[in-house]
Amino acid sequence: MTALMSSRTSSSAAAVDSHRTRRTALALLAAAGFVAALAAPAAHAQSALDNILKGKEIKIAIPTDYPPYGFVGTDLKPQGLDVEMANYIGAKLGVKVELIPVTSANRIPYLQTQKADLVISTLGKNAEREKVIDFTAAYAPFFQAVFASKSLNIKSFADLTGKSVAVTRGAMEDQELAKVAPAGVDVKRFEDHAASISAFVSGQTQAIATSASTAGTIMVKNPQLQTEYKLLLKDSPNFIGVAKGEDKLRTRVNEIIADAKKAGDLDKLSSKWLGRPAGDLPQ
């Protein structure tokens, strides 16, 4: 009888020990899972570059309705400064580039929802945007300038004397032109951009003061005019957008931009599409 009770007591103690062991193991597993869950967002926040290199592909948002930065060519393929920059970055990373057409309205949401890894789409940097996305160094200028035919000799604002220049009334280029134009310039102001463009294209004016994008449209649609960049009015550079927290990707792209600047590739790209070198760009 005593032996039986001793056996039962030993069995009961063993069961308790086993139960405690299981509870301890479960508690440890739960704690490990909790730590892993906490670490997961941090790991994910730094994983974009790793995923790109692993998958051998990068998704880059580009414009297709904003020449000369991005537009659809006669071959129905995207082309332009931003498109070339996207392919340039892909080549330096050694990965395939998936070009994703975006508009001004959805380019930042595409970045935030991971539909794109980068946004290269005439993106200016400001305080409001910096609250929701990060930016690389600038890669290209975006500017207002005076444009005219290659045959017209204009090297300085003094050379505008006696010449007619179309400009949209009240636009930034109108304000900037007023600051630097000599008294002898025939500034013809129009009520909207369409009228200013029409005046220049039809030959009512010899030059036009407008944005690089508008001039790009004129160049694409009216190649016979041989329009080119002449004089800078105001510069506002473009930056590449990166999702918040993707520091590894931003750092790598900055390295590519810095190397491209040093090699003269940014100047070549800008000269090809904008008619002027990129020059000094902010970091």
Residue 125 lies in a domain: yes
Q: Specify whether 173 is located in the same domain as 253.
A: no
- Give residue 35's pLDDT band: very low, low, confident or very high (50, 70, 90): very low
Q: Which of 141, 164, 142 is nearest to 152 (CA)?
A: 164
Q: Could you give the 3-state DSSP secondary structure of residue 98?
A: strand
Q: Specify whether 132 is located in the same domain as 242.
A: yes
Q: Specify whether 58 is located in the same domain as 137.
A: yes
Distance CA 133, CA 85 (A): 20
Residue 10 lies in a domain: no
Domain that holds residue 166: 143-235
> Rounded mean pLDDT of 140-163?
96
Q: Residue 88 maps to which CATH number? A: 3.40.190.10
Q: Specify whether 52 is located in the same domain as 137.
A: yes
Residue 72 lies in a domain: yes
Amino acid at 5: M
Q: Specify whether 52 is located in the same domain as 135.
A: yes
> Rounded mean pLDDT of 106-127?
94
277, pLDDT greater than 60: yes
In the prediction, which pLDDT does 213 show? Answer: 85
Q: Specify whether 221 is located in the same domain as 256.
A: no
Between these two residues, 27 and 122, which has the higher pLDDT value? Answer: 122
Contact partners, residue 213, CB within 8 Å, separation at least 6: 66, 67, 68, 69, 122, 142
Residue 133 lies in a domain: yes
Q: Which of 66, 70, 93, 72 is nearest to 82 (CA)?
A: 70
In the prediction, which pLDDT does 22 show? Answer: 54
Distance CA 210, CA 231 (A): 11
Q: Taking all residues of the chain, what is their mean pLDDT, rounded to a whole number? A: 87
124, pLDDT greater than 80: yes
CA distances from 53 to 83, 136, 164, 249, 282 (A): 20, 19, 53, 10, 28
- Global pTM reads 0.72
Distance CA 108, CA 89 (A): 19
Residue 8 lies in a domain: no
In the prediction, which pLDDT does 249 show? Answer: 97
In the prediction, which pLDDT does 13 show? Answer: 47
Q: Specify whether 129 is located in the same domain as 150.
A: no
121-150 b/e (C-beta count within 10 Å ≥ 16 → b): bbbebeeeeeeebbbbbbbbbbbbbbbbee
Domain count of the chain? 2
